[in-house]
Amino acid sequence: MWFQSAFREIYMSAFRYARRAEVLGDSVYDHAPGAIVLSSGLAYPPHLPDVVREAMEAARDHGTQTLQYGPLMGLEELRDEIVRFVAQDGVSCDRENVLVTYGAKSALDLACRIFVEPGDRIIVAAPTYMTALQIMRAHEAAFLDISQDEEGLDADELETQLERLRKNGERMPKLMFDVPDFHNPTGITMSENRRRRLVAMAEHYGFIILEDDPYRRLRFEGEAIPPLKSFDENGHVIALGTVSKILAPGLRVGWAIGAKEIVDRMAMQKADGGTNPFSQHIVADLMRSNKMSKHIDDLSAEMRLHRNAMVEGFAEFLPDAKVRKPQGGYFLWAELPEGTNAEAVAARAVELGVEVSDGRLCFPNETSRNHLRLAYSFVDAKTIRKGVRLLGQAYDELKAQA
Ligand SMILES: Cc1ncc(COP(=O)(O)O)c(C=O)c1O
């Protein structure tokens, strides 16, 4: 199993690590030098925003604020910009509902800190975002994993599971984590009906939905669907946002929007000196001017080309795989024929010069062995095509040996 080597490394070490350090051995972030990276959702380097003017002003004109520790809740001017930004999606909130964080992942971590006791169940889709699983595991959460259909997380299955837990007198989940738009990894976008139903279920069963929505604005076609947060009347949804995908991940600016009592508690768990005010200032400026929205339009057009190159590459070089064409976002989920060992395909692909992620990392409990997750964000369309060709070669070689 993928975690066994990590487990071995830890128990053979002279140091007495915590059990949660078990997952660190097989880092998916160590890229082989020179490899075509289709494994993680890195920003496309030629499209990183130009922030020279904003950074200079932040240092020159606002140094006493930007080079100081930041307020726990974030800079007021940025929180106000975030209020305006999410209002475009039908989310109505005030500054007091917005907590600025070091990206969406940090917001998720803070939410876990205030809600999760060891052994508490979190509702997640299977598969789901691998790093979110890592964060939730660090809080010793257990998972209630629910499958997805083309409309998103299966609400009927969830209801059946929740009724079963209730009937058995078991601990009910406090949280649900999901990615409704251009899901990582499956690319599925949740329908409006499903969103409304899940918000109603959150109220009925008393859990909080963590709506992680970093890709929402990177839509290539089709109509946008309102966020779950826009249907939330009683504070059962915390919207997690970030500029990592719409500006630059290195800025490390994200947010959580929720009931004031919740975000205040999350803020009190921050032990980071306040999110970097220098970055916050830059982001507030980019949001205020039309630079960010222009950047999003340009980036979406580029990502559409990348998506097309990857989908076409699969049709040409790996037709045995089932793939869904995502309408936006960064990721493609590939299902190889039953019985294929995706880990072996990914390992051979690395030898040939392309990195993809083994789908097992995305499963909370039972894993599937025949899925791969690919990101089309980081390299250009031509390189994506080459990468998929090499992946197809890896698959063909292993198929011939089987
Ligand atoms: C589902 C999901 N959430 C959040 C993030 C980004 O998190 P952060 O804002 O911490 O960079 C990613 C990046 O890959 C993601 O895929």
- 103: Cβ below 6 Å to ligand 1? yes
Facing residues of 394 across strands?
Answer: none
What is the model's pTM? 0.95
CATH 3.90.1150.10: does it fit domain 2-48+294-401? Answer: yes
Span from the CA of 48 to the centroid of ligand 1 (angstroms):
16
- 129: Cβ below 6 Å to ligand 1? yes
Alpha-carbon dihedral sign for residues 115, 103, 3, 348: positive
Alpha-carbon dihedral sign for residues 274, 276, 277, 283: negative
- 377: Cβ below 6 Å to ligand 1? no
pLDDT at 206: 97
| 274 to 93, 211, 289, 366: CA distances (angstroms) | 22, 23, 24, 38
Residue 113: what residue type? R
pLDDT at 360: 93
pLDDT at 312: 98
Facing residues of 13 across strands?
Answer: none
- 179: Cβ below 6 Å to ligand 1? yes
The ligand 1 atom nearest the CA atom of 105: 10
Mutate to test the pocket of ligand 1, among 244, 246, 280, 376 (most ligand atoms within 8 A of CB): 244
pLDDT at 23: 57
Among protein residues, the one whose CA lies closest to atom 4 of ligand 1: 104
Q: Which of 2, 34, 47, 109 is nearest to 357 (CA)?
A: 2
Each residue's pLDDT expressed in tens, for the chain with a length of 402 residues: 444 444 445 456 778 888 777 655 455 456 778 899 999 999 999 999 999 999 999 999 999 999 999 999 999 999 999 999 999 999 999 999 999 999 999 999 999 999 999 999 999 999 999 999 999 999 999 999 999 999 999 999 999 999 999 999 999 999 999 999 999 999 999 999 999 999 999 999 999 999 999 999 999 999 999 999 999 999 999 999 999 999 999 999 999 999 999 999 999 999 999 999 999 999 999 999 989 999 999 999 999 999 999 999 999 999 999 999 999 999 999 999 999 999 999 999 999 999 999 999 999 998 789 999 999 999 999 999 999 999 999 999 999 998
Residue 279: what residue type? S
pLDDT at 12: 60
pLDDT at 366: 81
CATH 3.40.50.970: does it fit domain 52-292? Answer: no
Domain ranges of the chain: 2-48+294-401, 52-292
pLDDT at 29: 54
